[in-house]
Structure 1
Amino acid sequence: MDIKKAVIPVAGLGTRFLPVTKSMPKEMLPIIDKPVIHYVVEEAIASGIDDIIFVTGRSKRSIEDYFDGSPELEMHLKGQHKDDLLKMVEDISSMVDIHYIRQKEPRGLGDAIMTARKHISGDPFAVLLGDDIIVNHTPCIRQLIEVFKKYRCSTIAVEEVPREKVSSYGIIKGKPLEGTLSILEDIVEKPSIEDAPSNIGAIGRYVFTPEIFDCIRDAGAGVGGEIQLTDGIRMLNDMQKVYAYKFAGKRYDTGDKFGYVQAVIDFALCNEDFGPKVRDYLKTIPDM
């Protein structure tokens, strides 16, 4: 059973990056010359997904424009015989089948995912959060899909998180099964350090059976009065097994200012054209 559909929620307000996110979605913040969301979509495609549902909100139109055709720009590049740039622009608009559904108001991640229910049509599906970039030879979602194919159960990506950030994540309690795979025993949304069952947090990659929708609906509002995905996962775990997988790869939380800067620097250093110049420049910066 392959996973061919993915939901990418991008309806958040991006308040941690105000004022720039007043008019620009945080998912469109550039990592050198490509926006964050481009890397997320590339991961989905590299994982075998060919049908993507963006859950958008107000002021997110630029995401739709980015993945749409651009006749004026394409005509200009063609007239200037800039064939490489023309191909790059055309490829963006033909990467994958993309659909857009609007979340009418920001009521939480669980609610955003619920809006895609009709399009999912009872199939297992992936969820990729639009502000996490994960770098690895085998894409993170592909790793989760392989676990799903073996066990036929929902699987969430997890990693150790710093103690001071425990209260920002859904924190799990797991029973080790094999390698980096655990059976989920419990998951708690944004617990205090004292109440957290571990320092292992769920990050922005999931593969779900369609039963997650009923669980999100029945769980209702949770922390902050929002409909939390974590509460739905917790209820799903009472019905069927859920697995937690410590993925291989490096994650950049670009929804966090420091995580965003890390991504920009690391991607710049890896650039074949100017990476060495960036490295030399960093060496010239005096200790602050």
Structure 2
Amino acid sequence: MTKITHAVIPVAGFGTRMLPLSKSVPKELLPLGNRPAIHYVVEEAIAAGIKHIVLVGHAQKSAIENYFDTNAELDHQLRQKGKDALADSLNWLPEDVTVSMIRQGKALGLGHAVLAARPIIGNHDFAVLLPDVVLDPFTTDSHSDNLAFMIKQFTNDGHSQILVDKVADEDVHKYGIAKLSEGNDTSIKNDNSKVSENVSFKVAGFIEKPSLDKTPSRLAVVGRYVFSNQIFGYLANTTASVGGEIQLTDAIDALISQYGVNVTTMRGDSYDAGDMNSYMQAFIYFAQQQLTDN
């Protein structure tokens, strides 16, 4: 099976949870320390072996595409002033990595956003990284290792992979929660301790934002996926459901029933850069780490 080298990052959302910060600046470009949030997500993808990144956005998100492009005038001005190192740091994408942008058109949900990338992804299998979720780049346990493990597992057994992490009892109602197949270790399902290594196993399905008394586990979807190209066929045939949107979870359920899907337990920590409270905590943490490094 060919190694995955393509990734989709949906960036079309308006970021209403981040208003007023996101009124004129895309939420993905809001800083975590000294870099925009999406910078870390793209770095993560590249470190895991991704060579072609497809941003799915809309007309008001061109600033994100510009961020990953070369600003020839700025580059010239910096080099004229002898600031070559600073100019080099702004053109940080490796030469063998391509960033493309395609417009979603209508805002019809995450599933529709992923489907919008199909003309560029073509017949390739691919990863999906949600830009709201930033994995800790300051530890070796999380930043690229989780995605790299998922890609390796997919390459080995052909099962699509979904990253999950244990959440506290009071938080299960905020997430999509994994319903695991019979025979999986109940401690993985139910206790709240962090895992020390990546483990991949079959999932029976997902329940969206369950109450604590109805949750099938404590394993919440983190925002990292590795999909067989077959997901596109299911998305194309998925009808709009909750909120009039095409739900990615509906296509995943269809994929599970036909081919099976695995969840991978996450190592390290993640930060929700699309929620104001979590974003503020993440900004402080990232800034402290960078000040320490300097």
Give the TM-score taking structure 2 as reference length: 0.87
Mean Cα displacement is larger for which, 82-91 or 35-44? 82-91
Aligned equivalents of 1:155 and 1:235: distance in 2? 14
Amino acid at match of 2:292: G
Determine helix, strand or coil for the equivalent of 1:60: helix
- Tell me if structure 2 keeps the 8 A contact 1:24–1:59: no
Larger relative contact order, structure 1 or 2 (CA cutoff 8 Å, min sep 6)? 2
Mean Cα displacement is larger for which, 200-209 or 176-185? 176-185
Determine helix, strand or coil for the equivalent of 1:111: helix
Gap regions ≥5 residues in structure 2: 189-197
Counterpart of 1:115? 116
Aligned residue among 127, 144, 151 for 2:157: 151
Aligned equivalents of 1:173 and 1:156: distance in 2? 12
Aligned residue among 140, 143, 150 for 2:146: 140
Counterpart of 1:190? 209
Deviation at 1:94, TM superposition (A): 5.1
User: Number of paired residues?
Assistant: 275
Which aligned pairs between 1:113-262 and structure 2 lie closer than 5 A?
A: 113-135=114-136, 136-137=139-140, 138-175=144-181, 176=184, 180-262=199-281
Aligned equivalents of 1:219 and 1:213: distance in 2? 10
Whether 1:17 and 2:18 are equivalent positions in the alignment is: yes
Which aligned pairs between 1:21-60 and structure 2 lie closer than 5 A?
A: 21-60=22-61
Determine helix, strand or coil for the equivalent of 2:4: coil
- Tell me if structure 1 keeps the 8 A contact 2:134–2:270: yes
Which aligned pairs between 1:255-270 and structure 2 lie closer than 5 A?
A: 255-270=274-289
Aligned equivalents of 1:160 and 1:133: distance in 2? 16
Deviation at 1:132, TM superposition (A): 1.1
- The alignment's C-alpha RMSD in Å is 2.1
Deviation at 1:223, TM superposition (A): 2.1
Mean Cα displacement is larger for which, 52-61 or 186-195? 186-195
- Tell me if structure 1 keeps the 8 A contact 2:172–2:218: yes
- Tell me if structure 2 keeps the 8 A contact 1:189–1:223: no
Aligned-pair identity (%): 41
- Tell me if structure 1 keeps the 8 A contact 2:34–2:287: no
Aligned equivalents of 2:164 and 2:92: distance in 1? 32
Whether 1:70 and 2:71 are equivalent positions in the alignment is: yes
Determine helix, strand or coil for the equivalent of 2:60: coil
Aligned equivalents of 1:221 and 1:131: distance in 2? 23
Give the TM-score taking structure 1 as reference length: 0.89
Aligned equivalents of 1:276 and 1:134: distance in 2? 18
Aligned equivalents of 2:249 and 2:93: distance in 1? 33
Counterpart of 2:192? none
Deviation at 1:180, TM superposition (A): 2.7
Deviation digits for residues 25-80 of structure 1, max 9, x if unmatched?
A: 11100112210111011011101110011001232111011111112211111111
Determine helix, strand or coil for the equivalent of 1:22: coil
Aligned equivalents of 1:196 and 1:223: distance in 2? 20
Amino acid at match of 1:109: L
Determine helix, strand or coil for the equivalent of 2:22: helix
Counterpart of 1:7? 8
